[in-house]
Amino acid sequence: MQSSHEAPSTASSSSSPRVGVIMGSKSDWPVMEHAVTMLERLGVPYETRVVSAHRTPDLLFDYAKSAAERGLSVIIAGAGGAAHLPGMVASQTALPVLGVPVESKALKGLDSLLSIVQMPGGIAVGTLAIGKAGATNAGLLAAQIVGLQDATIRQAVEAFRAEQTETVLDNPDPRPS
C-alpha cells in the first residue's frame, strides 16, 4: 500500500496519463479546470491532483521525482500567491513544467505571476498568462508537446486551430446578435 504522500493520480482520463495537472489547493480548480478541459477536448490522457509546495512538500518531491518513470511527458502546475509549486517541481524533474499563475484575492495574480516567472537561470518553467487564458493555453501547449510524438494528438491540435479560425471568420460582425 502506498503512503499518503506517494504520487498516484486521484483523477485521470482513461488511458495512461501523459500530462500531470497539479495545483496548490482545491481553491485553484476553477482556474485549472480549463487546462483539463483543453486536454480532454484534444484527447490527451491526463491525471490531476492537489500538490502543495508548502502544505505537502514531501508529496511534491515524490510526485516530481516519479513523474517521468510513471509515463508523464509534461507537468502543468498552477498556484497562487507565493506560488512556489511550478519552480520546485521543475527543480525535481527534467520534464517540461508549465506554470499557471492563479489569481489571488489580494493582488489579483500579479504576485503569482512574478513568483512563477522569475526563475533563476538553469531551472526552467514555461510561464503562462494569469488565470483562465493561462490554464487553457497550458493545456494546449502540453498537447502540442505530447503531439510531437503522437500524430493523433497533433492532428487534434491542428483541427482545433482550424475550427477556431473558421469560427472567427464566420462571425465577422462584433455586435451582439
Cβ proximity to ligand RP5, 26 vs 175, nearer residue: 26
Smallest separation (angstroms) from ligand RP5 to the CB of 79? 4
Tell me if 154 is assigned to a ligand binding site: no
Cβ proximity to ligand RP5, 115 vs 137, nearer residue: 115
Smallest separation (angstroms) from ligand RP5 to the CB of 117? 15
Tell me if 173 is assigned to a ligand binding site: no
Which residue, chain included where needed, has cell 484534444? 42
Cβ proximity to ligand RP5, 18 vs 34, nearer residue: 34
Cβ proximity to ligand RP5, 62 vs 103, nearer residue: 103
Smallest separation (angstroms) from ligand RP5 to the CB of 81? 5
Give the interface with ligand RP5 as residue ranges (CB under 6 A). 23-25, 27-28, 52, 79-81, 102
* Residue set of the binding site for substrate: 25, 28, 55
* Residue set of the binding site: 25, 28, 55
